[in-house]
Amino acid sequence: MGEVLALVEARLLTALGEPDARAAVTFLGTDRIEVLRFASGDLVRYATLGMSAQPMADPTAVLADPVKGPRAELVLTVRGGLAETDKVLRPLAVLAASPQVEGVVVAPGASLDVGEPLWPGAPFSSVLVAESGGLVEDLELDDPLDPVRFLPLLPMTPNEAAWKRVHGAQALEERWLANGTDLRDPLRRSVTLD
């Protein structure tokens, strides 16, 4: 576990630079989850560290495989200085612990909901999990371990989350793109949905 996390942290530092802050959260019955903050110009990136220590298990499996299975960390990017986004540390840790706590497999296209604003005054309580391979490249591990994927999180308003449930993740992403939605704006309003 420690070896995987050391490699994951090295990949994050290579891609994002030195973190300017980090916090750790431990939930009862789970491994410790850290959230690292990286400031880059007017952008602030938050990345989890700890979710990939264990592979995510299929919730229908009788026994969880301790070696094989998808591994991931979460990355959220927002514009700094517009809202109290540093309060997102605990919600991010909750999302990163969800595979251990709830037995879910976090994958692109999934919706994750924390049931409260991501930070004070945020119009978002859920996120859309996007495809990996952009900002932070996937980290290949030795066989038989699956690679660690760094999954971007895109905050969704309640209306967007409801619309996504009906029309799908791709349709919502296309709607954002067509409207020029700034997904990094921590105060943005819901995209026009019809």
pLDDT at residue 64 in the model: 66
Parallel, antiparallel or unpaired: strands 71-79 and 148-156: parallel
Q: For the chain, give the mean pLDDT.
A: 91
Percentage, residues of the chain above pLDDT 90:
76
Q: In degrees, to the nearest 5, what angle opens at C-alpha 108 toward C-alphas 76 and 161?
A: 75
Predicted TM-score (pTM) of the model is 0.93
* Paired strand residues for 38: 45
Question: For 20-33, how does the pLDDT look when each residue is reduced to its tens digit (9 = 90+)?
Answer: 999 988 877 778 89
Going from the C-alpha of 44 to that of each of 37, 61, 73, 76, 159, the distances in angstroms are 7, 38, 17, 8, 25
Query: According to the model, what pLDDT value does residue 60 have?
Result: 67
Report which secondary-structure segment, H or E, holds 6: helix 2-16
Can you list the positions of beta strands (E) in the chain? 21-25, 33-40, 43-49, 71-79, 111-113, 126-129, 148-156
- Give the mean pLDDT of 50-58: 88
Check whether 59 has a pLDDT greater than 80: no
Which residue would you say has higher pLDDT here, 38 or 103?
A: 38
The pLDDT value given to residue 30? 76
User: What's the mean pLDDT in 11-17?
Assistant: 96
pLDDT tens digits along 100-133: 888 889 999 999 999 999 999 999 999 999 999 8
pLDDT band at 73 (very low <50, low <70, confident <90, very high): very high
Mean pLDDT check: name the lowest of 61-65, 89-93, 178-182: 61-65
Q: What is the mean pLDDT of residues 164-169?
A: 96
